[in-house]
Amino acid sequence: MKAMTRFKHRPPYKKELLAIIGIVAVFGWLILGLFGPGGYRSLQKSRLEQKRQQMAVRALELDNSRLLQKITALRTDPMAQEGKARENNFARENEVILPVPE
C-alpha cells in the first residue's frame, strides 16, 4: 500500500506536458527570432548593406563635387576652356593641326 501513496504526490501529466510545450515554444521563438526571416541575422545583413551603400553614396558625392568643379572651371576659366577645346582637336583661327604618327 505504500507504493500507491508515492504516486499521489506526483503532479498530473497535464501540467508536465504544458510545461514542456511552453519551454519548447519559448526556445522555438528564440531560434526563429535569431535565424528566421526578419531576425537578428537578417538585421545584421541589412546593417552591413547599409554601410556599403553609405560608402558608395559618399564616393558618388565626391565624384559629383569633382565634376562640379570642372564644370565651374569650364564656364569661367578661359584657360580651362581652351585646354578642353584642344583636347577635342579644335584650333584657333589660322592654326593648323598636324597629326603626329604614333
pLDDT of 28 reads 87
Torsion of CA 41, 44, 49, 50, to 10 degrees: 140
Grid cell 597629326 is found at 99
Q: Give CA–CA dist 71/58, Å, rounded.
A: 20
pLDDT of 7 reads 57
**Which residue type, as a one-letter code, is found at position 63?**
D
Q: Give CA–CA dist 36/28, Å, rounded.
A: 10
Strand stretches in the chain, DSSP E: none
pLDDT tens per residue across span 86-96: 888 888 888 88
**Which has the minimum average pLDDT: 2-6, 8-12, 19-23, 66-70?**
2-6
pLDDT tens per residue across span 12-63: 688 888 888 999 999 888 888 777 777 788 888 999 999 999 999 999 999 9
pTM: predicted TM-score of the whole model, two decimal places = 0.54
* Residue 72: closest CA among 59, 60, 84, 61: 84
pLDDT of 1 reads 47
Q: Is the pLDDT of residue 5 over 70?
A: no
